Amino acid sequence: MGTWIELTNFMCPACPDKKGSDWVCAVDAGSVFINEEGIMECQSQTHTGPVINWKWNCGSDYHNGEFLQTDFEGFSFAMSQAVQLTNRAGSEWVAILLHNVGKQYGK
């Protein structure tokens, strides 16, 4: 279902520190993937959900240990900066992803 792209060198979309990170699942430390439908999933496929429900923690002081949800603007900005990721995925994949994530946020 969809094309899964690993979330590497992807800045934190949920805080102003915008720290880049290779994201791993908080529960089992597996790599995290996203597809163009706006679904997140960890390597083991155990933990999955739409972007709107996913919680992020880049480890910066801003989080104070908390996992935070992103808004559409934060996610779009992080995606716009993720050049390596978008090169791997292709511009069509990115356009479909932003459309589907926008729908999750009612945009």
Shortest reach from residue 63's CB to Zn ion, in Å? 5
Considering only the stretches 10-18, 32-40, 79-87, 88-96, report the one whose residues sit in contact with Zn ion under the rule CB under 5 A. Answer: 10-18
Judge whether 89 and 71 are in contact, CB under 8 Å.
no
What phi-psi label fits residue 106: left (phi over 0), alpha (psi between -120 and 50 degrees) or beta? left
> What is the total count of residues that contact Zn ion (CB under 5 A)?
10
Query: By CB under 5 A, is residue 71 in contact with Zn ion?
Result: no
Residues 24-43 that bind Zn ion (CB under 5 A): 25, 27-28, 42
Cα–Cα dist 11/3, whole Å: 20
HSE-up (13 A, CA, CB side) for residue 30: 13
Select the residue interacting with Zn ion from 8, 21, 47, 52 (CB under 5 A). 47
Could you tell me the two tokens for 78? 């992080």
Shortest reach from residue 49's CB to Zn ion, in Å? 11
Strands 20-21 and 10-11: antiparallel
User: Footprint of Zn ion on this chain (CB under 5 A)?
Assistant: 12, 15, 25, 27-28, 42, 46-47, 58, 60
